[in-house]
């Protein structure tokens, strides 16, 4: 029997990639969102259902009969909890593509006990930011049970953020009250520092090579990686060109060449070091195979736990990365 997967926020930039990837793999997408007019754009071949995030009854109707739900609608500070609640009521797996640090931390804090008791899988941050880095670090760790530190550097050629990315960033900044966030000493630390983030050099593997990056450009990996790995220091970095693009807030993606990316993960344990790198194209498009591969594995029973878990905890990380060979080059 064909598996049906509800996609909340289906008409958004990432949502459309997810709908297409589900269909490509033989899964049946059900497009869900609050705007009936935008849902109509999918045409007659895709079932659509209207539901705003703040209407529990509508959400229940929207995911009825689905085998899983993927949430692609940010800001996840407002959508994650109600869609997770609906998934728990329906008893089906939930996956999202949240890059918001606070929203992902909320998912672990608020739903770990309930999802575990219900035996329902809840997978946050199953996307380019958060999920991919977690898989790389987990695979790089190999047989290590602990490491002193993990570093994840994002080498983006550019970054034209979507309106959803910008909105999510605004919500996160508001929640932090002007503070920054980092993972140090085994915990998330919100701190105040009026200075610019330090600029350092990072030696990416060739052909990217040495690039300037912003140290302390903190991404969702500081939630996903330490949620299951004993690594007290998790640090992330972003190429200065991409950070400048994000700060400029230019959302015009039509007619532009998608960015190329290198995600370089390094774990250190004393003097020993292990490294794994992923390269590819389009940070938004690649989130679709990440999320859909995750749903497929959950529905097939290829998981290591239930409840709230990050990708590295839930799956065989090396095997998962190998399955994405048409989308990512791993070295």
* CA 280 from centroid of its chain's CA atoms: 16
Q: Are 294 and 324 in contact (CB under 8 A)?
A: no
Q: Please tell me the predicted confidence (pLDDT) of residue 178.
A: 85
Q: Which residue has the tokens 């987990």?
A: 138
Going by the DSSP 8-state scheme, the letter that residue 146 receives in this structure is B
Q: Tens-of-pLDDT digits for all 331 residues of the chain?
A: 799 999 999 999 999 999 999 999 999 999 999 999 999 999 999 999 999 999 999 999 999 999 999 999 999 999 999 999 999 999 999 999 999 999 999 999 999 999 999 999 999 999 999 999 999 999 999 999 999 999 999 999 999 898 889 999 999 999 999 899 999 999 999 999 999 999 999 999 999 999 999 999 999 999 999 999 999 999 999 999 999 999 988 765 545 568 999 999 999 999 999 999 999 999 999 999 999 999 999 999 999 999 999 999 999 999 999 999 999 999 9
Q: Are 33 and 50 in contact (CB under 8 A)?
A: yes
Spell out where the chain has E strands.
4-8, 28-33, 47-50, 68-71, 94-96, 121-123, 149-156, 180-184, 187-191, 199-203, 210-215, 233-239, 260-269, 272-281, 307-308, 329-330
pLDDT tens-digit series, residues 181-223:
999 999 999 999 999 999 999 999 999 999 999 999 999 999 9
Locate the domains of the chain by residue range: 4-128+286-322, 130-281
Fold of 4-128+286-322: Rossmann fold (3.40.50)
> Which has the closest alpha carbon to 133: 41, 7, 262, 230?
262
Q: Please tell me the predicted confidence (pLDDT) of residue 257.
A: 63
Of the candidate CATH numbers 3.40.50.300, 3.40.50.1400, 3.30.1490.20, 3.30.360.10, the domain formed by 130-281 belongs to 3.30.360.10
> Which has the closest alpha carbon to 71: 14, 139, 118?
14
């Amino acid at each position: 029997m064909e598996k049906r997967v509800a996609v909340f926020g289906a008409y958004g930039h990432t949502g459309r990639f997810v709908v297409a990837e589900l269909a490509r793999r033989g899964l049946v997408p059900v497009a869900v969102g609050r705007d009936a007019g935008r849902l109509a754009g999918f045409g007659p071949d895709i079932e659509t259902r209207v539901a705003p995030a703040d209407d529990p009854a509508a959400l229940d109707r929207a995911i009825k009969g689905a085998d899983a739900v993927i949430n692609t609608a940010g800001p996840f500070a407002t959508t994650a909890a109600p869609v997770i609640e609906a998934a728990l009521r329906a008893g089906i797996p939930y996956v999202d593509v949240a890059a918001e640090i606070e929203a992902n931390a909320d998912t672990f804090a608020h739903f770990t006990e309930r999802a575990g008791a219900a035996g329902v899988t809840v997978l946050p941050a199953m996307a380019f930011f958060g999920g991919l880095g977690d898989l790389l670090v987990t695979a790089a760790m190999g047989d290590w049970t602990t490491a002193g530190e993990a570093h994840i550097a994002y080498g983006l050629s550019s970054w034209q953020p979507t309106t959803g990315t910008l909105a999510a960033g605004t919500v996160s900044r508001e929640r932090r009250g002007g503070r920054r966030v980092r993972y140090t000493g085994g915990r998330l630390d919100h701190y105040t520092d009026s200075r610019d983030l330090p600029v350092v050099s990072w030696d990416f593997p060739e052909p990217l090579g040495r690039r300037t990056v912003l140290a302390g450009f903190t991404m969702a990996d500081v939630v996903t990686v330490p949620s299951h790995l004993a690594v007290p220091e998790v640090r992330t970095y972003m190429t200065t060109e991409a950070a400048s693009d994000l700060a400029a807030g230019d959302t015009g993606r039509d007619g532009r060449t998608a960015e190329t990316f290198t995600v370089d993960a390094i774990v250190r344990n004393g003097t020993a070091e292990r490294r794994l790198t992923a390269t590819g194209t389009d940070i938004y498009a690649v989130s679709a195979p990440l999320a859909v591969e995750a749903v497929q594995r959950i529905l097939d029973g290829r998981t290591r736990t239930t409840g709230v878990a990050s990708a590295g905890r839930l799956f065989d990380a090396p095997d998962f990365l190998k399955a994405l060979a048409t989308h990512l080059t791993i070295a």
